Amino acid sequence: MPSLMPLPARQRRQQGSLLIDGGLAVHARFGEDPRLTPAIRHLVDRIRREIGIALPWMPAESAEAADLVVATSDASSDPGFEDESHTLSIGTERVLLRSASVLGALRGLATLTQLAEPAGSGIRVPLGEIDDGPRFIWRGLVIDSVRRWLPPEVIVRNLEAVAAVKLNVLHWHLTDDQGFRVESLRYPLLHGLGSGGSFYSQDEVREIVGFATDLGIRVVPEFDMPGHATSWFVGYPELASAPGPFQLADSYGGQTATMDPSRSEVYAFIGGFLEDMTSLFPDPFVHIGGDEVDPTDWRRSRSVGAFMRSEGIGDFRALQAYFNRRLHDILSGLDRHLVGWDPVLHESLPPHSVVETARSQQWLVESAQRGHRVIAGSEYYLTGMHSAGYHYRRDPFDVDEGALTADERDAVLGGEASMWTEVAGPDNIDSRIWPRTAAIAERLWSPQHVCDVDDMYDRLLDVSRRLDQLGLTHLSGPWKIREQLVAPEHHDDLHALSELLQPVPSSERRTSRNYTTSTVLNRLVDATAPDSWGVRRFERLVTHLQADPADPSIRSELTATLSGWKALGDRLQPVLATDDTLAEAEPLAAALSAAAEMGLAALESDDIPGAGAADEAQVGASSVVVTRRLGHVVLGPSTQTVAANPVSS
């Protein structure tokens, strides 16, 4: 059977399949909603790209004459939270898709696309029924277009993937210390001086938002205030708490520039800007950032100090809370809801505000207990370079039992995966987001009891292939970077080594090297994926051998794998040592050879420790950890994680 991700809430498969050959006749019963026709077009286009079948479609006059019947009970195009539940019934004559809203129909079409397999000049879909709907109503992806400029086509292709795995929110980070990335007609110096020349025109924003809407994806913009705001002040220094002039930051962190909360003119400016933005972003939510506000400039400002004394504001946290209340009132006047990272949480934050966790699950509990709606974000930071399995094991409700009442649990809207771009750009950002985010999408869509990591990985491999067919560059982007690093005769070896490594978190990379907005991302660490399919296969072989130590085929395959790793390390060491860009990876090749030797010795040894025993050995400067259990070597996550550290040095 074709694999599905996210897994549905309920599915009943039957023997046999429905063959749709020559064309797709569609009969739709729904009201006037502009999203369904583009959705049908997108369905057949995705089938063409994912499985290579060009399937023309045409409207059918009746359900009896149709291959696909779409029946929607509510044609509302409300940009808020529509009902995404749907039922997909696949019989021997046709597919019947019933949904409570057009958005539910879009999700059902995404499932149908995953079910379709090539069959001659048409497609084959397995018989059965799927009754589905999401566990959480907010399932998002944060894309940071500021620290590294991402051309519109990067956003568009990632929206394709977002829709494919049934996420429903693009949280678009558009302003920060390094740039102001959206055109403002009312205040043209924001993008004119604050973007460095790289920004999205209003026409481009409308096209992207329109494309997202057709896919059933809401676009929530983030305009950071009152900190992370240097780009505002390059053109309008009067907004700042300290005198200018200001220039865009080309590095990350350490910026003290903040908006002046004491001046009414600042709020008038913000109100005008946000009014301008509501014509571009129809979603009822606007993210204001609100994190990492450095009070240095507030502390130095006499006018800010005088304002705090006159208003009875006792500390800078309360000052930011005052600023946030003013923003809340501005957004309410524009029929918008405020969303902010968890540092905005304060006893005076208006109750309709939404809090997104950035630091830990503790803030999810505290926010919900204070009556706020909450988005879980802290467990899904993709820049940590954790594996798909790591994120898959983390749930928005990973809190102490009894910490939340039923009403407080209902206040948890869902979660978001976050992709920040300090060390990611157009050439490799897809590989940092995908396919891992599909696992997070399943965590937020499927029932909580769906948590088998091995099964998830089996399906994730198929998802990765389909995303590649859709036009994502998570496979081809890193491949191209690696092939630029060595001569053609060494391409295969470098690809193989990269497959056994895991990049360190971006935070660790930035402590070992001064990364700026112009740093070229062309090192091995930039072309190494967070997940290793080869290592996962090795781990499974070890597990099988532990279950049956006498199995000669498994032992033989492990021996071949370890021998191959040793030979790979031996071949690459002299190649890497002679190249300045790759010299940092030479210890990894040496460590791989040494670890493989240990593994081969362990396979040949009759000295088997007791169950649960483990020996750790340090191999060279790269500190590869080799763990022996029951006489067998486990090189999985330890080899990936620890051995990759020198790549970042």
Query: Which active-site residues does the annotation give?
Result: 292
Q: Reduced to 3 states, what is the DSSP secondary structure of residue 207?
A: helix
Dihedral sign (CA 510, 511, 513, 518): positive
Q: Cβ distance 303 to 309 under 8 Å? A: no
Q: Reduced to 3 states, what is the DSSP secondary structure of residue 479?
A: helix
Going by their DSSP bridges, the two strands 122-132 and 86-90 should be labelled as antiparallel
Q: How far apart are CA 570 and CA 427, in angstroms?
A: 30
User: Which among 620, 558, 561, 616 has a CA at the least distance from the CA of 585?
Assistant: 620
Beta bridge partners of 618: 625
301: number of Cβ within 10 Å: 21
Going by their DSSP bridges, the two strands 354-356 and 95-99 should be labelled as unpaired
- Could you tell me the two tokens for 293? 């506000």
User: Which among 144, 7, 2 has a CA at the least distance from the CA of 438?
Assistant: 7
Q: Is 380 exposed, middle or buried (0-12, 13-18, 19+ CB in 10 A)?
A: buried
Q: Cβ distance 374 to 357 under 8 Å? A: yes
- Could you tell me the two tokens for 610? 């007791």
Q: How far apart are CA 63 and CA 29, in angstroms?
A: 9
* Terminal Cα-to-Cα distance of the chain (whole angstroms): 45
- Could you tell me the two tokens for 264? 């009414």
Peptide linkage before 79 cis (omega within 30 of 0): no
DSSP secondary structure string, 74-143? -----SS-----EEEEE-SS-EEEEESSHHHHHHHHHHHHHH-EEETTEEEEEEEEEEE--S-SEEEEEE
Phi, psi of 263 (to 5 degrees): -110, 130
Q: Cβ distance 472 to 492 under 8 Å? A: no
Peptide linkage before 6 cis (omega within 30 of 0): yes
**E strands within 401-525?**
412-419
Residue 552: partners with Cβ closer than 8 Å, 6 or more residues away: none
Burial 385-395 (b: 16+ CB within 10 A, else e): bbbbbbbbbbb
Q: How far apart are CA 524 and CA 526, in angstroms?
A: 5
